[in-house]
Amino acid sequence: MSVLCLVLSGVLAGGELLVRWGLAPALRALPDDAHVRARIAVVHRLRLVVPAVIVPTVVVTVVVVARGGDAAAWAAVGALAVFVVVTGFGTVPINMRIARWDPTDPPADWQGLVRRWERVDVLRSSAALLTFVLLAVARLP
């Protein structure tokens, strides 16, 4: 099961890093109307995919580490907790607003909201990466 823990945390970290440093800058480079439409579409798609990765990652990681993880493994659980909290209170509320945007008439502050999402997502994606790295060096049962 520890291999599954490492695989899931690697998938989570990889996906988060691709969104943060690959997709987000690409969206920013689009004209405003295309950016808004693409961002709405991405939010609609990822709000299904991301929880399908997060939930098993959290469950498996907590179970494995509780069975006898070392200090690095427990630090990974802490980093994963930061990831979950930042997701729940940071990016999810913003994504919920984006999901309701009218692509032909986005809110006046849409660019500020995107910048806020990007700032929060730096912490979020970094916490996911840190989780993976710590689990990679941990001694798991």
Please report where in the chains the tokens 């008439």 appear, as a residue.
Answer: 105
C-beta of residue 99 within 8 angstroms of C-beta of residue 43: yes
**Could you tell me the pLDDT band of residue 106, with boundaries at 50, 70 and 90?**
very high
Could you please report the per-residue DSSP string of 94-121? Answer: HHHHHHT--TTS--TTHHHHHHHHHHHH
Q: How far apart are the first and last CA of the chain?
A: 8
The helix (H) or strand (E) run that includes residue 91 is none
pTM of the model: 0.93
Radius of gyration of the chain (CA): 16
Q: What is the mean pLDDT of the chain?
A: 95
